[in-house]
Structure 1
Amino acid sequence: MTVAGGLTSGSGLNQLCIPVDMFVDSNDAIYIADFFNQRVIKWDKDASQGYIVVGSNEKVNQIDQLHYVTAMFVDSKENIYVSDNYNHRIQKWTKNSKNGETVIGKSGRGNSLNQISNCWGLYVDKKFNVYVSEHSANRVTKWSPGAETGKIIAKVGKPIDIYVDESNDDLYVASYQEDSILHFNTDGILIHKIGKGVLKHPYGFAIMPGSDPTNPTVIIADSEQQRIVKMNMNDPKTITIIAGSINTSGKDPNEFNEPRRVRFDSKGNLLVLDSNNNRVQKLLIKNNNCNIYY
């Protein structure tokens, strides 16, 4: 079912225009990085439209505006972190603030450790460290609160979506270049790689809640093949298609047009950011078992 957007592309509060990232909070509200509308829009659970929490429809570099939003994250204090991509910075909006603060990227675009280059994934941990997926710099960097420079924690070909397992600080990364989901330990050493040869340009993924921590189940937006799939980190090739039609794009309820992100809500249902259809689709999962849908 469609739970956000789904109409024609546009800038209305009930519309989206090529959304590229999303975050789902504990109340099942959905925050959406609305790329061409230069904004983050929030849809409360069961709402028929959203409301703007960050940005506007103008492409500028002022403290209250953005120029193409490519990634976002909401921390435990409801602060919103946004990749303001064409301004080469990460902006932080404190709860209910009208203006953003530049917390990363004060020195412009580049590959130095006080710069970022083309961020397409963000993660903020409970200690408020910010992890940045730098697509053009082929790296993931970690920035401590208030730091002027970051630390390279993994080198990855064209990284996009990222996730940190805070029980051990292991890092998971979707690599657009390697067509894989990669798992690194805290020393930046690659432990697992899944999907090589079966995925094609995966944009996003999510670790399934309650899965075995020694062999996590990963739900993947296999973007260019127009499908959502399931894989286990210890099994690099076995793949289960759970939604979509391989290599066939469409706008019917069982079809996608470049799905870019997948996230779980508080009930264990799966949300899919169906980017080129300008909508978020919700798949109800029976008994939290990804093998059975209704």
Structure 2
Amino acid sequence: MKWNKGATEGIVVAEVHEKENALNQLAFPNGLFVDTLGTLYVTEFRNDRVMRWSKGETQGPAIVGGNGEESGASQFNGLFSLSFDHQRNLYVVDYGNHRVQRFSITIIPGIPASARWAQDGDTVVGGSGQGNDTNKLNAPFGLFVDDDQMIVIADYLNNRIVQWKMGDANGQVVAGGNGNGNRLHQLNSPTDVLIDKETDSFIICDAHNRRVVRWHRRNGTKQGEIFINNIDCWGLTMNDQRYLYVSDGEKHEVRRYQIGDKHGTIVAGGLGNDNNNHRVMKWNKDTKEGIVVAGGQGQGNALTQLDGPMGLFVDTLGTIYVADHGNHRAVHWPKGEKQGTLIAGGNGVGSGANQLYGLIGLSFDYHSNLYVVDCWNHRVQRFSLQ
């Protein structure tokens, strides 16, 4: 129950059931934590899992646990309480296993529907023209922004991954950069990258080498290791339970991998080509068909349409943010809406502060500032939350 200040009655924010384990139910909840966005985190003694309920939602995902009552790294035996440190690592008291477990949790902001961003972007990476110097990019593709506003970019035509600290004039090559090739110290047209906090490593879509590779972040790392082979990787993401999701552009499917799994499980697509439909699809867990959640009204520039959408971000409220590549704009679609809202770009092709040219990816930092990969302007733009 949530009790507002001065209220005489409380509000139910999460349902309690004695023995149920559906995502809209709790069984003997005990530990609680509420963050600054109003998101509720709950430990369940009976279900041995930690649930996250976004403000206003009627169900929450299990972010850790729920894998049986055992002593494995992702299992518990009677959860009792939880807390977070300043780096947003999650700590849980595993009562029956007589231990405290720590988890690195990816915090995705829940951005209010009324949020607005500055229409002029600030160049935070690149912007010095096309090239391979450390202050330049050459057709950047995917990006990742960590909790400390460190920006990591897949520098596609430079065959490298570059890391930029906020405010620095030059980036640091952290993977590849040794020419185009297939040796373990090389990359060949990387398209996406993320940071796995648990292993402190970069996971990279090494597209033209048809592999996913991992490079450790520690100083002195000279080469990567093959994580997944023989896959036409385009994009990737990792959830809070450290399942890796990889899109295969040739097989038109998305696969989910447990760490160490080389084959994965198809979780979306795999039934033929769905290219150039100018839409965003949502696939619920264990379903055979997806649901159109953005676009799907043909190619165009109306707010009901998309033109070659590429990058995607979904916040905890279910709002979808799309890099609308062919329209050179970023749009957002609140959950259940039939049309999007322009949030950046859309002012024609160009290199002005309010213009984009072939945006590929987008992301947000913990303060809800928007970052856009402006591919053919060879830069990353930040649009500040107003």
Query: What is the CA–CA distance in structure 1 between the aligned matches of 2:156 and 2:311, rounded to whole Å?
Result: 18
Query: What is the CA–CA distance in structure 1 between the aligned matches of 2:257 and 2:182, rounded to whole Å?
Result: 21
Distance 1:191 1:62, change over 3 A: closer
Q: Does 1:260 align with 2:310?
A: yes
Q: Does 1:277 align with 2:327?
A: yes
Task: Mark the runs of 5 or more structure 2 residues left unpaired by the alignment.
Answer: 1-106, 339-386
- In structure 1, the residue matched to 2:125 is 54
Are 2:177 and 2:187, in contact at CA under 8 Å, matched by a contact in 1? no
- In structure 2, the residue matched to 1:185 is 258
Shift of 1:199: 5.1
SS of equivalent to 2:208 = coil
- In structure 2, the residue matched to 1:165 is 239
- In structure 1, the residue matched to 2:278 is 226
Query: What is the CA–CA distance in structure 1 between the aligned matches of 2:317 and 2:296, rounded to whole Å?
Result: 25
Q: Does 1:148 align with 2:222?
A: yes
Query: What is the CA–CA distance in structure 2 between the aligned matches of 1:172 and 1:47, rounded to whole Å?
Result: 32
Are 1:192 and 1:234, in contact at CA under 8 Å, matched by a contact in 2? no
Are 1:74 and 1:81, in contact at CA under 8 Å, matched by a contact in 2? yes
Letter in 2 for 1:93: W
Are 1:262 and 1:273, in contact at CA under 8 Å, matched by a contact in 2? yes
Query: What is the CA–CA distance in structure 2 between the aligned matches of 1:123 and 1:198, rounded to whole Å?
Result: 27
Residue 75 (structure 1) aligned to one of 140, 146, 159: 146
- In structure 2, the residue matched to 1:137 is 209
Query: What is the CA–CA distance in structure 2 between the aligned matches of 1:164 and 1:229, rounded to whole Å?
Result: 18
Q: Deviations over 1:84-138 (max 9, x none)?
A: 2222111111122111111111422211111111111111122431110011011
Shift of 1:249: 0.7
Q: Deviations over 1:11-41 (max 9, x none)?
A: xxxxxxxxxxxxx97486xxxxxxxxxxxxx
Are 2:283 and 2:289, in contact at CA under 8 Å, matched by a contact in 1? yes
Shift of 1:165: 2.6
Q: For 1:1-294, list aligned pairs within 5 A.
A: 26=109, 45-127=116-198, 128-146=200-218, 147-167=221-241, 169-193=242-266, 194-197=268-271, 200-201=274-275, 224-235=276-287, 237-245=288-296, 248-265=298-315, 267-285=317-335, 292-293=336-337
Larger radius of gyration: 2
Shift of 1:80: 0.8
Aligned pairs, number:
226
Query: What is the CA–CA distance in structure 2 between the aligned matches of 1:197 and 1:76, rounded to whole Å?
Result: 37
TM-score (norm 2): 0.55
Shift of 1:233: 4.1
Are 2:214 and 2:225, in contact at CA under 8 Å, matched by a contact in 1? yes
Query: What is the CA–CA distance in structure 1 between the aligned matches of 2:320 and 2:177, rounded to whole Å?
Result: 36
Shift of 1:280: 0.8
SS of equivalent to 1:276 = helix
Query: What is the CA–CA distance in structure 1 between the aligned matches of 2:273 and 2:312, rounded to whole Å?
Result: 15
Shift of 1:174: 0.8
- In structure 1, the residue matched to 2:39 is none
Instruction: Compute the RMSD of aligned alpha carbons.
Output: 2.3
Are 1:75 and 1:125, in contact at CA under 8 Å, matched by a contact in 2? no
